[in-house]
Amino acid sequence: MWPDVVIPLAVFAAGLIATIWLRRVAYNALERWAKKTKWQGDEILLQATRAPSILWCLILSSALALTVSPVPQHWKNWANKGLWTLLVISLALSAVNLVGKLVSLYAERLKATQRTIAISKNIANAVIYIVAILILLGIWGAPTTAIIFLIVLAAVVVLVAFRETLPNFLAGIQLNARGQFKVGDYIKLDTGEEGYIKEMNLTDTLIESPNESTTLLPNRKLIQATVTNYGHLMKKAKEPFRFFNRVHLTELTGLKAKNLKELADVLQNAPDSIIYYHTHHFLEEHHYLTPEPANDFAVWVSDALGDDVFGEKLANIDAFEFPTLSALRERIVNVIGEYISLEPELRRAPSGREFYFMKSVSVVMSTHYVARDLREFVEALRKLSLGSLYFHIFESRLRLGKPTNDFSVWLENSMGEPELAQEIARFDPYSYTLEGTRSQLMQLIEKHIK
């Protein structure tokens, strides 16, 4: 009788020693591998399986002992089912432990909310428990077809219910795996959205745009769109730059001149706004033309008086060289005065083609564009209306009497970028169309950012 007891016990003891030894060898190898990799998941895998693996050694040894045991076959069957049940339960609990820790690890990286983490863990746990129950039912010979059908049905219902969220969730995992973006990056989508990434979670990414609005982008959109990543958060301005827009209306003065003497007489005493209008309005009105027509005085002298030579001389007066409108006026009046002193016979404009003096009324309105750093500044510049660009470049300097354009003032005082400010102040916008000016300014700033 004693061999009936001793042999199974011996097999059990030998099996246990062998599996425990194998477990130790395996864990030593795994630990060495884990140390070499940067992936934190391997540590979690080791921790989650270390204790249950002893139980698995016991189960395996018992199963081996049972095979050599002389107990009746139907007892062996019951005992095997018991061992398999124990193994499945222990594997399921280990899997729950492992998946929970992995979800926490990735959720932390993606800065997912607690709610998202809990939902993710619950979904994973439910799947593991369902699979375990199905296996157990199979072991104990219970019918599973109806249950599988119900589970598939439930899965379909869940998929339909989460059809919007699921692709975003998968995209979130993909984004994290790629490591393409991180919080603080300035991104721009080909669909128009742009801004700094403020938050990223498993389903959505929150960005803050230069117009101070925030947009919640579904992660799927980030995967599908062409996204330019401009990189890290930039140096912030002391005060943000708020862009204004300007529209204008032409005001008539009722004054006119039919020859150069009358032109000079009116200009001598005209308000600055008249000088400003006739030396600037063509920049906006004909901004699409290359080359642009010259100032109104030059065009009138060439077209209405038919004096191309003197018209050319007036066209060459560069408003950019003058710090104030008074200085510009003085120069125009002097140039005309010199010409009159040498020409005793003054040409006269045909009837109806006299020079009509005008000025403009500007209405200035705030826009939704705000820049707190150079990246936001250049992106706003890209999209501004030409009226807005005109206002900050031309109107601020000569009409509002600032020492230079608004952009340079902000770059120097708020951004602490005196070199860039100087470079933009030196740029002569009168030599470019408004679109050309926009492009040149953007290039200067982009170069500086790099």
Partner 1 sequence: MKLSDYEPIIGRGAIEDLRSLASKLSGKVIQNVNSTFTGGGVAEILSRMVPLLSELGVDARWSVIKGDLAFFNVTKKLHNALHGSDEKISVQDISAFQETSRKNIKELELFGDIMFIHDPQPVALIERKKELGKEWVWRCHVDVSRPNETAWDFIKPWVMQYDAAVFSAPSFSTPLPMRQFLISPSIDPLSDKNRELSQDIIDSVLSKYGIPNDKPLIVQVSRFDYLKDPVGVIQAFKQVRRSIDCRLVLAGGTATDDPESGKVLAEVQDKAEGDRDIHVLLIPPGSDIEINALQRAATVVVQKSLKEGFGLTVSEALWKGKPVVASAVGGIPLQVKNKFTGLLSHGIEGTAYAIKQLLGNPEYGRWLGENGREHVKQNFLITRHVKDYMVLFLTLGHSEEVLYL
**List of residues contacting partner 1 (CB under 8 A):** 245, 247-256, 273, 285-289, 293, 299, 303-304, 350, 352-354, 356, 358-365, 385, 387, 395, 399-400
DSSP states along 16-39: HHHHHHHHHHHHHHHHHHHHH---
| Interior angle at CA 161, CA 172 and CA 218, nearest 5 | 30
For the CB of residue 273, give the shortest distance to partner 1 in the complex, in Å.
Answer: 5
For the CB of residue 308, give the shortest distance to partner 1 in the complex, in Å.
Answer: 11
Complex with partner 1: residue 141 or 352, whichever CB lies closer = 352
C-alpha distances (whole Å) from 100 to each of 27, 45, 106, 117, 170 are 21, 11, 10, 9, 17
Complex with partner 1: residue 95 or 384, whichever CB lies closer = 384
Complex with partner 1: residue 308 or 419, whichever CB lies closer = 308
For the CB of residue 397, give the shortest distance to partner 1 in the complex, in Å.
Answer: 13
Complex with partner 1: residue 184 or 401, whichever CB lies closer = 401
Q: Which helix (H) or strand (E) holds 189?
A: strand 186-189
292 secondary structure, DSSP code: P
Report the distance separating Cα 434 and Cα 15, nearest Å.
86
For the CB of residue 293, give the shortest distance to partner 1 in the complex, in Å.
Answer: 6
Please, which residues have CB within 8 angstroms of residue 113's CB and are 6 or more apart in sequence? Answer: 201
For the CB of residue 279, give the shortest distance to partner 1 in the complex, in Å.
Answer: 15
For the CB of residue 368, give the shortest distance to partner 1 in the complex, in Å.
Answer: 9
For the CB of residue 286, give the shortest distance to partner 1 in the complex, in Å.
Answer: 7
Complex with partner 1: residue 113 or 362, whichever CB lies closer = 362
Complex with partner 1: residue 362 or 422, whichever CB lies closer = 362
Report the distance separating Cα 202 and Cα 110, nearest Å.
6
Structure tokens at 336: 């005309």
Per the CB < 8 A criterion, the answer to whether 46 and 31 are in contact is: yes
For the CB of residue 266, give the shortest distance to partner 1 in the complex, in Å.
Answer: 12
Torsion of CA 336, 342, 345, 347, to 10 degrees: -30
Complex with partner 1: residue 391 or 407, whichever CB lies closer = 391
For the CB of residue 254, give the shortest distance to partner 1 in the complex, in Å.
Answer: 4
The most distant pair of C-alpha atoms in the chain lies apart, rounded to whole Å, by: 146
Report the distance separating Cα 91 and Cα 449, nearest Å.
55
How many residues are given for the chain?
450
Asked if the peptide bond before residue 323 counts as cis, ω within 30 degrees of 0, the response is no
Complex with partner 1: residue 123 or 364, whichever CB lies closer = 364
For the CB of residue 444, give the shortest distance to partner 1 in the complex, in Å.
Answer: 23
Complex with partner 1: residue 196 or 277, whichever CB lies closer = 277
Complex with partner 1: residue 17 or 361, whichever CB lies closer = 361
Per the CB < 8 A criterion, the answer to whether 441 and 407 are in contact is: yes
C-alpha distances (whole Å) from 210 to each of 8, 217, 225, 410 are 77, 16, 20, 16
CA-wise closest residue to 449 among 393, 385, 353, 379: 379
CA-wise closest residue to 356 among 431, 242, 254, 264: 254
Complex with partner 1: residue 387 or 429, whichever CB lies closer = 387
C-alpha distances (whole Å) from 213 to each of 57, 206, 208, 296, 359 are 59, 11, 6, 42, 37
Structure tokens at 26: 């395996």
Complex with partner 1: residue 296 or 412, whichever CB lies closer = 296
For the CB of residue 292, give the shortest distance to partner 1 in the complex, in Å.
Answer: 9
For the CB of residue 251, give the shortest distance to partner 1 in the complex, in Å.
Answer: 6
211 secondary structure, DSSP code: T
Residue 205 CA, chain-centre distance (Å), reads 10
Report the distance separating Cα 427 and Cα 135, nearest Å.
76
Exposed, middle or buried, 70 (CB in 10 Å: 0-12/13-18/19+)?
exposed
